[in-house]
Structure 1
Amino acid sequence: MINNPKPSTTLAKSILGCAMILSLSSPALATKDTKEKNPDANEIVVVGQQTRTEVIQELIVNQFKVSAGGRNTGQYARFAAPICPSVGGLSNEDADKIENRIRDIAELGGLLVAADNCSPNLIVVAVENGAHEIESLRKKQHRVFNTMTHRERDKLIEDGGPVFSWKATQQMASDSIHAARTGTIDMKSEGTGPITARGQRSHVKSLIKKPEFAGIVYSYLLIENKALSGVSLNQLADYAAIVSLIDINVKFETTPPPPGSILSLFTEIQTDQPPPQSISEGDLLMVRGLYKAAPNVKAPLQRSAMLHTINEALERPAPEE
């Protein structure tokens, strides 16, 4: 189970510790060698579920957030640079275990993972009062919310927790798969979050492909301590991984998570099913589908490609033992 959080840790300190305040002129992050991981201490067990593609499709349509436009003209945002998780508000031992497991899940989902000495872009913090911490951030480190409207910032607090999740996204040039990594992200010395992102100029001309794609530059996830009672490190890490790698509405007001999904860990939906202990097959397939789909097409084409990947996997017969 999760050890008691650090009593002296505040969100501001955690954010400052997780996201170094610097200018990145060429964020070429080395990928982590998978052979260095401890397979016994952090083994990922994907729980198989009889999840139908239609259920996942409904979740994608109603719960995935669309950037840079509406449902049919925008795009589903995704990380372009290798992910670098950093966990605050917990003991160093627990934080390290969660960070390593998030890295493992990201690799299973098809993402690149940065080396250990990277600059964090996936931030998870355990806090006492999420609404209070967000109010404080808005006053003292407002750049964390630079890519959100004032209404979106207000809704973070109005939703009431215990989970608070948001992304800092940028439009990135799509005529090179390395565009996001060779662009420049300028950061001020007194705040966190992206100020500007200058990628390579795009010259893509197509009726299907867009000249830019929606990239996640930073992912922020706050979880209140009261919700962590009885939650294991693996459960927290799995939830944090899926919620951070996908820009998704964590309140599930329209569509509930599929049966067995780790996304239901902190929902208030009453069910006779026990809480999920690990990521489900559907959870992992949603991540794989998103990151396998072309990033520089409109959301409907992304959805179609995602569902093709998911349906293909769900219909594939299990290997014989």
Structure 2
Amino acid sequence: MRMALIGFALAIAAPGTAQAQDKPADDPSIVVRGQKGVPPREARKFVRQVVTSTEGQLARFVDPVCPFVLGLPRQYAMVVEDRIRDDARQAGIRTGAEGKCQPNLVIMVADNADAVVRKLRQKFSGLFLGVSAKEMSRAMREGPVHVWSAVQVRNENGQAPRQTESDGPPTLRVYGASLVDLQTQQAVLQSIMVLDADALLGKTLTQISDYVAMRTLAGARPPREGVEANTILTLFDPQGAPPPAMTGIDRGFLAGLYKVRPNGTSVTQMSTISRQIVKDSKPRTERE
């Protein structure tokens, strides 16, 4: 039902977007890994620049990820979906069975992304349930990229709020107390991204896929303009020269997020991610 709603919304908001980009050139198997280790200080700075917190914690998918692309010719959409699945698996994120799972990561390519998001907000407000006010504000800003995620607070065991009384609000049951961790965790239920078709011109499918993965799976935000960072998150920075794919620091961030204690504080979670970036970036000696 939700996918039918999204498809209908896109159809009435931006007809013809399926032909927006019909000549992407790419080899989706390319993975660029850095050869130079990332110093701890640089890793911590990067994490602070791009991380997004919700109620003092970092949100992530808990259910298997199921990507679905709208607005591109199907043969290209499948390449993007496969690449996102591969990015997820490399980071230790579970993925749903292709063609059998309910999409919870939706990417729309539209002729006018700003107009599409405004129309979705006006006519299909259900797509924004569970989105914080701060993230809503970011999602509605004009630009080539709009992204938002529905986040649900769960207890330390991953259990969602339950309806205990027919006329009362759902309640969250917590079981313990800790001086280090919290009694909650932040679970991403779904993530939606709307991309402006014109902004994709000159970008490869690998770049687009990896950018989407970092923005949705990791909740990462592009670093501020003018800040030097070798990251795919600079893909739409007009002043930058984006890499051809996820970099080592990107993959370390994504993997680190899914290794943190889910009920930890954002401070301890960010520290874990920083250490993961440093670990993953160390040069490796491989024997043939």
Name whichever of 279-288 and 58-67 sits farther off. Answer: 58-67
Q: CA deviation at 1:213?
A: 0.3
Q: Is the 8 A contact 1:210 1:297 kept in 2?
A: yes
Work out which of the residue numbers 12, 20, 33 in structure 1 matches 2:10.
12
**Equivalent residue for 2:119?**
136
For the pair 1:163 / 2:145, whether they are aligned, the reply is: yes
Specify the code of the residue in structure 1 equivalent to 2:178.
S
Measure the CA separation in 2 of the matches of 1:280 and 1:167: 24
Partner of 2:235: 265
Asked whether the equivalents of residues 44 and 104 of structure 1 are also in contact (C-alpha less than 8 Å), the reply is: no
SS where residue 113 of structure 1 aligns?
A: coil
Offset of residue 230 of structure 1: 1.4
Match of 2:45 among 49, 54, 58: 58
- 2:181 pairs with 1:209: yes
Mapping of residues 258-297 of structure 1, within 5 Å: 258-259=229-230, 261-268=231-238, 270-271=239-240, 273=241, 275-297=242-264
- Say whether residues 1:233 and 2:205 are aligned partners: yes
Indicate whether 1:219 and 2:191 are aligned. yes
Please say which of residues 167-176 and 290-299 is displaced more in the overlay.
167-176
Q: Give CA deviations for 1:240-286 in whole Å, capped at 9, x if unaligned.
A: 11211111223x33773622x21111112x24x4x321111111110
Residue 48 of structure 1 corresponds to 34
Counterparts of 1:109-124 in structure 2 under 5 Å? 109-116=91-98, 117-124=100-107
For residues 210 and 237 of structure 2, what CA distance do their matches in structure 1 show? Answer: 15
Report the TM-score when normalising by structure 2: 0.81
Pair 245,139 (structure 1): closer, same or farther in 2 beyond 3 Å: same
Q: Distance in 2 between matches of 1:107 and 1:297?
A: 23
Could you say what secondary structure the match of 2:140 adopts? helix
TM-aligned CA deviation for residue 137 of structure 1: 1.1
Whole-Å separation in 2 of the counterparts to 1:284 and 1:165: 20
Please give the alpha-carbon distance, in whole angstroms, between the structure 1 residues aligned to 2:83 and 2:162: 29
After TM superposition, the structure 1 = structure 2 runs for residues 181-196 of structure 1, keeping only pairs within 5 Å, are none
Which residue identity is paired with 1:298? Answer: T
Percent identity for Structure 1 against Structure 2? 28
3-state secondary structure, aligned to 1:167: strand
**Can you list the C-alpha shifts for 1:10-43, whole angstroms capped at 9, x where unaligned?**
753499xxxxxxxxxxxxxxxxxxxxxxxxx742
| Distance verdict in 2 for CA 1:255–1:81, change over 3 Å | farther
CA distance in 2, matches of 1:76, 1:14: 35
Instruction: Output the CA distance in 2 between the equivalents of 1:247 and 1:54.
Output: 21
Instruction: Find the counterpart in structure 2 of residue 256 from structure 1.
Output: 227
Query: In the alignment, is the contact (CA less than 8 A) between 2:136 and 2:148 conserved in 1?
Result: no
Q: 1:306 to 1:132 in 2, by over 3 A?
A: same
Name the CA distance, whole Å, in 2 between partners of 1:135 and 1:242. Answer: 24
SS of 1:263's partner is helix
Distance 1:218 1:199 in 2: 21
Cα distance, 1:76 vs. partner? 0.8
Give the one of 54, 58, 76 matched to 1:67.
Answer: 54
Distance in 2 separating the partners of 1:220 and 1:134? 10
Q: Distance in 2 between matches of 1:142 and 1:132?
A: 15
Distance 1:168 1:215 in 2: 8
Q: Choose which of 66, 79, 85 in structure 1 pairs with 2:67.
A: 85
Task: Write the distance in 2 (CA, Å) between the matches of 1:199 and 1:149.
Answer: 19
Secondary structure of 1:118's match? coil
Q: CA deviation at 1:202?
A: 2.9
Q: Is the CA contact 2:33–2:247 (under 8 Å) kept in the aligned structure 1?
A: yes
- Out of 113, 121, 128, the residue aligned to residue 145 of structure 1 is 128
Aligned to 2:3: none
